[in-house]
Amino acid sequence: MISVIISGHGDFATALKGSSGMIFGDQDDLIAVPFLKGEGTQTLQEKYKQVLEGIPQENEVLFLVDIFGGTPYNAAAPYIVHNQRIDMASGVNLPILLEVLSMRGYLPLKELLTKLKKVNEEGFQVCSEHLEKIKENNHVLEGDLL
């Protein structure tokens, strides 16, 4: 099993966890760790430490953070350097989190991260590009935009 720690600036992590709960229901081993205004790297590292201490040693751990190189990322990096069962991905969004929750029970961490790269690429879509393809292919009536 992969335990997931979501972190980001402000209430981002808490809101993302709540949104995923609307779709997948409450999840075990999904922890939101907000980085709040006035906190520093050291405070966030202490929050991470407390969360990690509560995760079973046999679980792999995936940090999902908002911004590459931001404080939530930088605060988690030392835990990854010293532990091969922990890794991190930045740029987390709801589609990525939902994919993690659906695959974390049967894929090892490294395979999951490989799949997430593709999901992230496919998840970013531009509506006008789809409309243009539809017009070019003349496959669909005007009211059918997807």
Mean per-residue pLDDT over the chain, rounded: 91
pLDDT value, residue 133: 82
In the numeric block, the tokens 């202490």 are attached to: 46
Instruction: Judge whether 130 counts as a catalytic residue.
Output: no
The SS3 call for residue 14 is helix
Is pLDDT at 138 greater than 70 in this prediction? no
Which sign, positive or negative, has the C-alpha torsion 72, 75, 80, 83?
negative
Task: Tell me the whole-structure pTM to 2 decimals.
Answer: 0.86
Is pLDDT at 40 greater than 70 in this prediction? yes
pLDDT value, residue 121: 78
Q: Cα 91 vs. chain centroid, distance in angstroms?
A: 7
Is pLDDT at 130 greater than 80 in this prediction? no
d(CA 60, CA 114): 15
* 76, two tokens: 């988690």
Distance from first CA to last CA of the chain, Å, rounded?
36
In the CATH scheme, what is the homologous superfamily, with its name and number, of domain 2-137?
A: Phosphotransferase system, mannose-type IIA component (3.40.50.510)
* pLDDT confidence tier of residue 131, bands split at 50, 70 and 90: confident
pLDDT value, residue 127: 84
Q: Catalytic: which of 9, 82, 130, 139?
A: 9
